[in-house]
């Protein structure tokens, strides 16, 4: 399946509320596995949820960094 992926990295610095946001188009049958492979080789904790519109949100904590990946079907 083809998705538009939005990757958001939360900024943990005090007094800085900006977030790093990246956009990409990806093909995958399993967004959670895609994120695990994307963050391969690191200490990763991953969970996911699927919305009724087909969007899959994957929450990942990787080496202390909190990230969210939204996969929206194209």
Report helix, strand or coil for 36: helix
pLDDT for the residue 42: 73
Residues in the chain with pLDDT < 50? none
Between CA 46 and CA 23 the distance in angstroms is 20
pTM, two decimals, is 0.88
pLDDT for the residue 14: 75
Q: Write down the domain spans for the chain.
A: 2-73
pLDDT for the residue 10: 86
pLDDT for the residue 41: 72
DSSP string for 25-68: EEE-S-HHHHHHHHTTTS-EEEEEEE-TTS-EEEEEEETTEEEE
Element containing residue 35 per DSSP (H, E):
helix 31-38
pLDDT for the residue 31: 97
């Amino acid at each position: 399946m083809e998705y538009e992926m939005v990757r958001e990295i939360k900024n943990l610095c005090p007094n800085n509320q900006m977030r790093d946001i990246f956009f990409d188009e990806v093909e995958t049958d399993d967004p959670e596995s895609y994120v695990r492979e994307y963050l391969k080789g690191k200490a990763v904790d991953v969970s996911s949820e699927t919305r009724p519109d087909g969007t899959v949100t994957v929450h990942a904590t990787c080496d202390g960094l909190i990230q969210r990946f939204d996969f929206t079907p194209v």
